[in-house]
Amino acid sequence: MKNVYNTFGGTADAPWYDTDGKRIQAHGGQVQKFTVNGKDKWYWIGEDKTYGYRPCGGIHLYSSDDLYNWKDEGIILRTMESTDEFEEPYFKELYGSLTKEEKETIFIDLDRNRCVIERPKMLYNEKTGKYVIWFHADGRFPGCKGDYDKAKAGVAVCDRPNGAFRMLGSYKLNYHNDPNGEYGFDGWENRGSVRDMNLFLDKDRTAYIIYSSEGNRTTFVSRLNEEYTNLAVDRDQAVEGVDFTRNFIGCFREAHAMFCYQNKYYMINSGCTSWSPNPARYAVADHPMGPWRDMGDPCMEKGRETTYDSQSTCVILVDEEKGGCIYMGDRWKEEDLAVSGYIWLPIVFLPDGKMILEKREDWSYGQESSK
């Protein structure tokens, strides 16, 4: 049975189905508008948790004309069962020119029975005409001790938003160049680790990656190159404070969501409590790389201690002139990740850079505040 929506579920925790009547699988994701073939559409990218934590379902995409009703565009970055699949037409077209060794490296990132793909985000590069996906690339690669030892950022590209995306590789990123510094459980030998991450594209088309590192102690903001496919400067030559910044040091934040509203930069993130929700915090800056001013908890009502049972993943800028920003959060169900839900809430902006996530159970964009 097809569902037709004209409201967002808010905190009601109702399942959200696509236009074919199937539960939407786009967790830890992002919603943004692209113009494709002359038509504006909203695109929702996220983790496919159909099979739970494993086997890894890859990256799923949906499209919408109205933000309420979503068409399934399919898996746009597919995972693999074995390296034998490189000989199948789908993967051969993407990776046929690679050497055996290069294919084995790609397989480590796409091995559905071992890989971890989390927090996928997409940018469109006007200069190259490419869509670029970044994601937290982890998993049980050879020689690792657990699911989150690899701690890299994966990158994939395509000429269109609905795939098929070609994996370029996965990388460690910027690091604080001090062997005696505090790196948490990562340690100096694992410097540049990447866990929860997000992307931000500024109005001048400069792109940034935001990620937790140093054992989740620190939030990095790093500039990307003009193609959006790697760091702007090689990580071993990068200068802290110029090519990247370290923020919220020692605060253990994750689930970052950066956006710009009326020339102010905002970042919402959460604490580090695994799949369990905790109080969100937000910060304000005059530049994507900071310095960031902590503003506290954006939630004001009952349930604020768990961000209304959600964790941030994205802020949708619908209409900046009218203050139209939507908080997008995940409501994780650790016991059955396939049925994890989504919480979308209106953001209300106040003087002096302050904002709140307005608690709503069921609401429509443009609806008057209930407060």
Percent composition of the chain: helix, strand, coil (DSSP 3-state, to 5): 10, 40, 50
pLDDT band at 2 (very low <50, low <70, confident <90, very high): low
pLDDT band at 371 (very low <50, low <70, confident <90, very high): very low
Residue 370 has pLDDT above 90, yes or no: no
Digit-coded pLDDT (tens) for 195-217: 999 999 999 999 999 999 999 99
- Assign domain 10-262 to its CATH architecture: 5 Propeller (2.115)
Q: Give the pLDDT confidence score for residue 299 in this predicted structure.
A: 97
Q: How far apart are CA 265 and CA 182, in angstroms?
A: 28
Average pLDDT, rounded, for the chain: 94
Report pTM: 0.96
Q: 263-371 belongs to which CATH class?
A: mainly beta
pLDDT band at 5 (very low <50, low <70, confident <90, very high): confident
Query: Contact at 8 Å (CB) between 309 and 277?
Result: yes
* DSSP 3-state of 205: coil
Residue 266 has pLDDT above 70, yes or no: yes
Digit-coded pLDDT (tens) for 93-116: 999 999 999 999 999 999 999 999
CB < 8 Å & 24+ apart, contacts of 221-224: 221/245, 221/247, 221/258, 221/288, 221/289, 221/290, 222/173, 222/174, 223/289
Q: How many CB atoms lie within 10 A of CB 23?
A: 14
Residue 220 has pLDDT above 60, yes or no: yes
pLDDT band at 320 (very low <50, low <70, confident <90, very high): confident
Strand partners, 319: 324
> Do the domains at 10-262 and 263-371 have one common CATH topology?
yes
| Domain residue spans of the chain | 10-262, 263-371
Digit-coded pLDDT (tens) for 271-281: 999 999 999 99
